[in-house]
Amino acid sequence: MTDQWDAGRLDSDLEGVGFDTLAVRAGQNRTPEAEHSEALFLTSSYVFRTAADAAARFAGETPGNVYSRYTNPTVRAFEERLAAMEGAEQAVATSTGMAAILAVVMSLCSAGDHVLVSQSVFGSTISLFEKYFKRFGVQVDYVPLVDLSGWEKAIKANTKLLIVESPSNPLAELVDISALAEIAHARGAMLVVDNCFSTPALQQPLKLGADIVFHSATKFIDGQGRCMGGVVAGRAEQMKEVVGFLRTAGPTLSPFNAWIFTKGLETLKLRMRAHCESAQQLAQWLEQQDGVEKVHYAGLPSHPQHELAKRQMSSFGAVLSFEVKGGKEGAWRFIDATRVISITTNLGDSKTTIAHPATTSHGRLTPQEREAAGIRDSLVRVAVGLEDVADLQADLARGLAAL
């Protein structure tokens, strides 16, 4: 251990640095051990020098750790790094991505408040609103993601939040984030954006006018399918409320998972670049295949919001979906014929995955809800990993041959 602690000599000066440097160094505060890599604090509690010190910590009169359900140095490092990359005042980590949206609504809404949600959000998000939030008096309506006039007409006097996923899962629909933020703010509401598919490496919604972003860190932030977690980021005023909910309810992130995610952020931009390049190639190839009726990928000029994607994203993401001939039976034959790609609903992994949304991720929705979200029985989703793109193309060709 060093005899003297001089943070100025051990920590990096990050004033004015770029995104790539923030991804590698933001949030790290080295201990007196002078470790180069981020420390992993596997502890549930913390000791105090005196009883008076403990009392002041618990009262919030002096800064410092109290209990790892409240704060943990490893979790805090991840939060600070993600906040720096998103351009947020503060980020708050959660146990899962679903816990992130739970924390946002529970901390910012009350019974009688109205929330507008995109029709094309993740299936579990719809279930959370329909089965639980509505039960406690939160009013919910759904709006087609791309319909700005529809959003404006649906806002009520008690509308608190507008919640969108852009690009959406699995159809890669987009909303003009800047325009929707203006609509929300003009009526006193906040815009919340699920930025999981893009990550801050491709899109920064807060800089486009959104108030809050959230992620399933389980996906691209981890990048290798190892850990579960989520994160919410935005202004400190709102994040204070989110922290209060987590401190009481407890869906906090484990230090080990936070450490994994912090290391994942270091390579995020490099990985997303590779994911996107392969996804673009596969989307273009699939669009030319006879067995494919339609490809949903914002990087294709045929996508109705291709120009919008070019304006608000630096690249088009790693997730694409396509409709094959033969309905559900054709989609299942296609999936079952692959031999390299993993049949699983997770995404954001270094390994490419393939899934049938209508019977997996969106299977709990009613047929009417799936229809409204555009989830057809013929739809197949591929989350492109980091394998050789020629091998992925060859595997998808096996699927086409089975149609």
Residue 89, number of CB atoms within 10 A of its CB? 14
- The predicted pLDDT at position 90 comes to 98
335 touches 130 (CB < 8 A): no
Tokens of 356: 């049938």
Report the helix count and the strand count for the chain, using DSSP H and E. 16, 12
Helix (H, G, I), strand (E, B) or coil at 180: helix
- The predicted pLDDT at position 6 comes to 58
**Spatial separation of the C-alpha atoms in residues 9 and 252, rounded to whole Å:** 32
**Spatial separation of the C-alpha atoms in residues 151 and 19, rounded to whole Å:** 33
Tokens of 341: 């790609």
**Cis ω on the peptide bond leading into residue 304 (within 30° of 0)?**
no
Transcribe 324-392 into DSSP letters: ETTHHHHHHHHHHH-SSSEE-S--SSSS-EEE-GGGTTTTTS-HHHHHHHT--TTEEEEE--SS-HHHH
List the pLDDT tens digit at each of the 403 positions of the chain: 344 555 556 888 899 999 999 999 999 999 888 899 999 999 999 999 999 999 999 998 999 999 999 999 999 999 999 999 999 999 999 999 999 999 999 999 999 999 999 998 887 898 899 999 999 999 999 999 999 999 999 999 999 999 999 999 899 999 999 999 999 999 999 999 999 999 999 999 999 999 999 999 999 999 999 999 999 999 999 999 999 999 999 999 999 999 999 999 999 999 999 999 999 999 999 999 999 999 999 999 999 999 999 999 999 999 999 999 999 999 999 999 999 999 999 999 999 999 999 999 887 778 887 887 788 999 999 999 999 999 999 999 999 999 9
- The predicted pLDDT at position 121 comes to 87
